[in-house]
Amino acid sequence: MAEPENTGAGEGPEPFMQQLLNNPFLLLFLGVLFPSVLYTIWGIIEVASIPVGQ
Amino acid sequence: MSNFRTCPETGFKIDLDAEKLIKWNAVTGVVFLLVGGFFGLLVALTRWPSVHLLPADLFYLALTAHGVDILLVWIIFFEMALLYFCSSVLLQCRVATPKIGWLSYWLMLGGAALGNVVVLMGESSVMFTSYVPLKADPLFYLALILFAVGALIVCFIFFGTLVIAKREKTYEGSIPLVTFGAMVAAIIAVYTIASGAVILIPTLLWSLGFIPYVDSLLYKVIWWGMGHSSQQINVSAQVACWYAGAAVLFGARPISEKVCRTAFLMYILFLQLASAHHLLVEPGLGAEYKIFNTSYAFYLAVFGSMVHGLTVPGAIELAQRRKGYTKGLFEWLRKCPWGHPAFSGVFLSIVIFGFLGGISGVVLGTEQLNLIMHNTIYVPGHFHATVAGGTTLAFIGISYWLVPTLWQRELAMPGLAKFVPYLFGIGISGIALFQMGAGTLGVSRRHWDMTFADSALTYDYPAAAHLLMALNGISAVIASFAGAIFCLQMVLTIIGKKKAAPAELPAAPQAEAIQGHGHGGGLAVPGTFVLALVFLTSFVLYYFVNWKYLSEIWILS
Amino acid sequence: MAIVPIKGNWWNAPVERTEALWIGIALVWAIIMFFMMPYWHMVGNQNLSTEAYKVTPDAYEAKVDAFVEKYQVREEGDTGIPVVKPPAGGDVYLLARQFEWYPIVELEKGQNYRIHVSSMDVQHGLSIQPANINIQVHPYYEMIFNATPTDAGEYGIVCNEYCDIGHHTMLGKLYVK
């Protein structure tokens, strides 16, 4: 089974990215924020910006 | 207080409440797979020009039902089972609020049943997309909303279970990669369902006459926030199944947790942007919006998928090489358990999703290339490769392991099981290829009669297009047959012979420390690398061929 | 294994060479694909216009009727669909409704036209065959795009957005001489 080799992944403070990836609620927040802004809200602005014809 | 049992095969501690929820959601999903698959067969036999099975009204009805039952009901019910499994079982903790889990189950089942009944009544043949101003019966929208609310609640139960596991310290370190993948699916599901609520609630009110009009372009923007993102839930769940399959069948470990989890992070941030694929030939939307979103932000989410496409087989190769299969580039692959349906299901899922589904999806979603593909039957060709050949086949594969293990029964008709993933894979690949071919010749999707027999004017598709639609019909028969056998096997297994319990229960699985890959210089997984290069070559060639096709049509600006 | 938790600072473990190599290759390919799209906008000949206006179906239909009246050359078929020949470089007005494309137009190869399209009722799909040009048509929106036909012939206009029970009977025509 598992025989941990020396991989440099030893003790010490938890790396920042690892902390981020270990935080489900932060990831949930980002995962909802990004598409809501970049796709949904931007898309609504695009539609709303279509001018009225003559 | 929760009651637990220990799995006699894996040693996992299983919360009995979670077990019941997993089983009921999975079985319900498989029932709707059978129903939805049946509608799909009827559709394919109608689009086979010389068979032309259903009359027009029943065709559009069956097509609507097929879309709802497969794209939404089957797959999300199964994913709910996966969410419970990946949280409660893999983290060996009690599931959060099981009573609410049951409320959600009944909401989802009620919504699914209501939706099917309403569609069968004939006044709601609006397709799964239900584009306004086409109007369905108000109960149609209500059914989808009920289903969605149920699923959303289960997503929060999943997050609640993660909290419980952390608080009660039922695990050490970071959650397993498979749980992480399921979490990504749950995150995408929250955005998906919220988008659905935002658009379907006003549409319901419009269908009841309380709102005078819903803008059709706005509807599409918001609806596809649910429509395509729901398929991205599938991508994440399917990739989680790939890692799970590699683990249970080979004891394989991800070569690098950092690489795999970062690839999943690309999904979290960018996968859902691709909803814009469906908006590339609409009036008035700006090119910057289209390009940024359709590319999943510089194709970073596609990059994520390409990474998983290497890391999963790579993990298997590494595990195989450690077992001694080191001859040449591919002994590890030849010595894989090709007769085990869990392996063949997962492996075929990777190949079909990658080569057929992924490549065609990126091409379809390229802003300008969409002009020669939008709303042709190429589109269903693409998504049969991804949803049926990718996700459904991965779920079928994982079920062949999970169902006998969780229900503690012997697999029924095991000799047949060997062939099911291959048969299903061949059938679905046929559907995908032949539909894509017909779409390249301009055949339309969602269309009852490609001969235009009832039109005032005439147009003749080339003979090859008719042949391709016939081959699509035959492929659908093969796939449906295999799918039906799978459903039958699941039922027979669940009611069938109990497994003999082993004398001793295995120890509960513990957290692992990172293990080095043990390779000084050179590539640890050269065989996988070669396969990945084959994939990349196919991708590059097919991608540029389509730009060539595009350059040959009219000049447009 | 991917089904058990992972201890330690896994983020710091070095990345194996195959994966690092593939990551580099995949990133390069991703960037190439991304830049193909703006590149085609700059040098390619097939880009969909983003020009569109909000209109009412009645106002749009009036424009179509005026167009037909001005440039009609003949009729076709049992239902007497007008065939319209607009001047090269001019505006072409097409409308979609359940279940027809109106009118039939006759264009000249190699000439540019400003094509306007809108729907009178539900969404339709403008699918020009065999060129395989596919564009979405909405009610209350007038889309305008420039098109230069590159091949002479008789084209069919298929509807490829489901528009209710008569969807599959919806077929128009377009001539390029």
CATH code of the domain in which C142 resides: 2.60.40.420
What's the CA gap between B207 and B135, in Å, rounded?
7
Q: Are the CB atoms for B151 and B76 separated by under 8 Å?
A: yes
- Distances B455 to B154, B523, C140 between C-alpha atoms, Å: 48, 61, 26
- Kindly list the residues from chain A whose CB atom is less than 8 angstroms away from the CB atom of residue B190: 28, 31-32
Asked whether residue C114 falls in the same domain as residue C35, the answer is: no
Q: Decide if C11 is inside a domain.
A: no
- Kindly list the residues from chain A whose CB atom is less than 8 angstroms away from the CB atom of residue B285: 43, 46-47
State which CATH number among 1.20.210.10, 2.40.30.170, 1.10.10.10, 3.30.540.10 fits the domain covering B4-501+508-552: 1.20.210.10
Asked whether residue C157 falls in the same domain as residue C108, the answer is: yes
- Residue from the list A3, A17, A27 with its beta carbon closest to the beta carbon of B268: A27
Least Cα distance to B148 among B216, B34, B226 occurs for B226
Q: Are the CB atoms for B550 and C46 separated by under 8 Å?
A: yes
B417-448 pLDDT, tens digit each: 999 999 999 999 999 999 999 999 999 999 99
Asked whether residue C125 falls in the same domain as residue C65, the answer is: yes
The pLDDT of residue A12: 84
Asked whether residue C147 falls in the same domain as residue C100, the answer is: yes
Q: What count of CB pairs under 8 Å joins A to B?
A: 107
* DSSP bridge pairs for C52: C143
Asked whether residue C74 falls in the same domain as residue C130, the answer is: yes
Touching check for C54 and chain A: CB below 8 Å?
yes
Classify C145 as helix, strand or coil: strand
Touching check for C52 and chain A: CB below 8 Å?
yes
- Residue from the list C15, C33, C141 with its beta carbon closest to the beta carbon of B283: C141
C105-147 pLDDT, tens digit each: 999 999 999 999 999 999 999 999 999 999 999 999 999 999 9
B304-316 pLDDT, tens digit each: 999 999 999 999 9
Contacting subunits of B (3+ beta carbon pairs below 8 A): A, C
Classify C109 as helix, strand or coil: coil
Q: For chain C, what is the domain count?
A: 2
In this predicted structure, the answer to whether residue C100 has a pLDDT above a threshold of 80 is yes
The pLDDT of residue A4: 39
For residue B140, the one-letter residue type is: F
Asked whether residue C20 falls in the same domain as residue C87, the answer is: no
Is there a contact between A9 and B215 if contact means CB atoms under 8 Å apart? no
Residue C81: which domain range? Answer: 50-176
Q: How far is C70 from chain B (nearest CA, A)?
A: 24
The pLDDT of residue B520: 62
Q: Decide if C23 is inside a domain.
A: yes
Interface test with B, best of C19, C159, C161 (most B CBs within 10 A): C19
In this predicted structure, the answer to whether residue A1 has a pLDDT above a threshold of 90 is no
- Residue from the list B126, B516, B556 with its beta carbon closest to the beta carbon of C147: B556
Residue extents of the structural domains in chain B: 4-501+508-552
Q: pLDDT in tens for each of the 557 residues of chain B?
A: 679 999 999 999 999 999 999 999 999 999 999 999 999 999 999 999 999 999 999 999 999 999 999 999 999 999 999 999 999 999 999 999 999 999 999 999 999 999 999 999 999 999 999 999 999 999 999 999 999 999 999 999 999 999 999 999 999 999 999 999 999 999 999 999 999 999 999 999 999 999 999 999 999 999 999 999 999 999 999 999 999 999 999 999 999 999 999 999 999 999 999 999 999 999 999 999 999 999 999 999 999 999 999 999 999 999 999 999 999 999 999 999 999 999 999 999 999 999 999 999 999 999 999 999 999 999 999 999 999 999 999 999 999 999 999 999 999 999 999 999 999 999 999 999 999 999 999 999 999 999 999 999 999 999 999 999 999 999 999 999 999 999 999 999 999 999 888 778 888 888 888 777 666 678 999 999 999 999 999 999 999 999 999 999 999 99
Asked whether residue C83 falls in the same domain as residue C170, the answer is: yes
Asked whether residue C35 falls in the same domain as residue C95, the answer is: no
B-contacting residues of C 49-78, CB under 8 Å? Answer: 49-53, 77-78
The DSSP string of B51-88 is: T--S-HHHHHHHHHHHIIIIIIIIHHHHHHHHHHIIII
The pLDDT of residue A54: 73
b/e sequence A24-49, b meaning 16+ C-beta within 10 Å: beebbebbbebbbebbbebbeebbee
Residues B199, B205, B102, B62, Cα dihedral to 10°? -80
Q: Decide if C158 is inside a domain.
A: yes
DSSP, res C173: E
Q: Decide if C88 is inside a domain.
A: yes
Is there a contact between C29 and B177 if contact means CB atoms under 8 Å apart? no
Q: Decide if C112 is inside a domain.
A: yes
* B11: its two tokens: 């040693």
* DSSP bridge pairs for C141: C54
Q: Decide if C2 is inside a domain.
A: no
Q: How far is B454 from chain A (nearest CA, A)?
A: 36
Q: Decide if C7 is inside a domain.
A: no
C-contacting residues of A 3-22, CB under 8 Å? Answer: 4, 7-12, 14-15, 17-18, 21
What's the CA gap between B152 and B163, in Å, rounded?
17
B447-473 pLDDT, tens digit each: 999 999 999 999 999 999 999 999 999
Asked whether residue C78 falls in the same domain as residue C150, the answer is: yes
C68-83 pLDDT, tens digit each: 999 999 999 888 999 9
Q: How far is A6 from chain C (nearest CA, A)?
A: 9
Classify B500 as helix, strand or coil: coil
* B269: its two tokens: 């941030």
Q: Are the CB atoms for B120 and B89 separated by under 8 Å?
A: no
- Residue from the list A7, A11, A50 with its beta carbon closest to the beta carbon of C53: A50
Confidence band of C148 (pLDDT split at 50, 70, 90): very high
Least Cα distance to B397 among B312, B504, B334, B320 occurs for B312
Asked whether residue C57 falls in the same domain as residue C34, the answer is: no
Q: Are the CB atoms for A31 and B187 separated by under 8 Å?
A: yes
Least Cα distance to B443 among B380, B487, B384, B495 occurs for B380
Q: What count of CB pairs under 8 Å joins B to C?
A: 337
Q: What is the ipTM of this complex?
A: 0.96
Is there a contact between C54 and A51 if contact means CB atoms under 8 Å apart? yes
Touching check for B500 and chain C: CB below 8 Å?
no
What's the CA gap between B368 and B355, in Å, rounded?
21
Q: Are the CB atoms for C66 and C137 separated by under 8 Å?
A: no
Asked whether residue C65 falls in the same domain as residue C133, the answer is: yes
Is there a contact between B456 and C10 if contact means CB atoms under 8 Å apart? no
Contacting subunits of A (3+ beta carbon pairs below 8 A): B, C
- Residue from the list C3, C33, C172 with its beta carbon closest to the beta carbon of B543: C33
Is there a contact between C48 and B362 if contact means CB atoms under 8 Å apart? no
Confidence band of A3 (pLDDT split at 50, 70, 90): very low
The pLDDT of residue A11: 72
A-contacting residues of C 104-143, CB under 8 Å? Answer: 141-142
Query: Residue B286: closest CA among chain A residues belongs to which residue?
Result: A46
Q: Model's pTM, two decimal places?
A: 0.96
Asked whether residue C86 falls in the same domain as residue C22, the answer is: no
In angstroms, the first-to-last Cα distance of chain A is 74
Touching check for C50 and chain A: CB below 8 Å?
no
Helices within B129-176 (DSSP H only): 138-167
* B138: its two tokens: 């108000």
Least Cα distance to B122 among B75, B30, B31, B54 occurs for B54
- Residue from the list C18, C49, C100 with its beta carbon closest to the beta carbon of B557: C49
Touching check for C58 and chain A: CB below 8 Å?
no
